C-alpha cells in the first residue's frame, strides 16, 4: 500500500483556473515537502513544512499556497493557473530530527501530473 497518497494522479486544468493537489502521508513523519518536476528541469524544491509550520518557500509566485490541515496532510493550492505550471508535482516526507541539517531520506508520493491548457 502506498504510504504517501497524492490525489489526483492526473489533472487537466484551463488557464486562469484554480486547483488543489492533495497529499497525505502515513509514515508518521513530521516533515513534508512539495517538489516540482518540469520537462528539461531537475526536481525543484518548492516548500517544506515541519510540524505543520512552513519552514521554507522557494517558489517565486504567491499563486502557490501550501495548506496543512493535519500533521500528515500537505495540500497545494494553485491559483490563476498558467500553461507554464504544467509539471508533475511530488509530495514527499521525512522524519525531522531537529538537527539543522540531517541525513534523513525523503520518501516521495507518486506525483500529480498537471496539464494546463
Partner 1 sequence: AQKVTQTQTSISVMEKTTVTMDCVYETRDSSYFLFWYKQTASGEIVFLIRQDSYKKENATEGHYSLNFQKPKSSIGLIITATQIEDSAVYFCAMRDLTGANTGKLTFGHGTILRVHP
- Which is nearer to partner 1, 46 or 81 (by Cβ)? 46
Q: How far is the CB of 37 from partner 1 (least distance, A)?
A: 9
Among residues 29 and 116, whose Cβ is nearest to partner 1?
Answer: 29
| Smallest separation, CB 56 to partner 1 (Å) | 4
Measured from the CB atom, the residue of 79 and 113 that comes closer to partner 1 is 113
Beta-bridged to residue 54, according to DSSP, are: 49
- DSSP one-letter string for the chain: --SEEEE-SEEEE-TT--EEEEEEE-S--SEEEEEEE-TTS--EEEEEEETTEEEEE--S-TTEEEE-SSTTB-EEEE-S--GGG-EEEEEEEE---SSSS--PPPEE---EEEEE-
The residues binding partner 1 (CB under 8 A) are: 31, 33, 41-45, 48, 50, 55-56, 58, 88, 90, 94, 96, 100-108, 110-111, 113
Question: Which lies closer to partner 1 via its Cβ, residue 91 or residue 116?
Answer: 91
Amino acid at each position: 500500500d502506498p504510504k504517501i497518497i497524492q490525489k489526483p494522479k492526473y489533472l487537466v486544468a484551463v488557464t486562469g483556473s484554480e486547483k488543489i493537489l492533495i497529499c497525505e502521508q502515513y509514515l508518521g513523519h513530521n516533515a513534508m515537502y512539495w517538489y516540482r518536476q518540469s520537462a528539461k528541469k531537475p526536481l525543484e524544491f518548492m516548500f517544506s513544512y515541519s510540524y505543520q509550520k512552513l519552514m521554507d518557500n522557494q517558489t517565486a509566485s504567491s499563486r502557490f499556497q501550501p495548506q496543512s490541515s493535519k500533521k500528515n496532510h500537505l495540500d497545494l493550492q494553485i491559483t490563476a493557473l498558467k500553461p507554464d505550471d504544467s509539471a508533475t508535482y511530488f509530495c514527499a516526507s521525512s522524519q525531522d530530527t531537529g538537527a539543522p541539517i540531517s541525513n534523513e531520506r525523503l520518501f516521495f508520493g507518486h506525483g500529480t501530473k498537471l496539464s494546463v491548457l
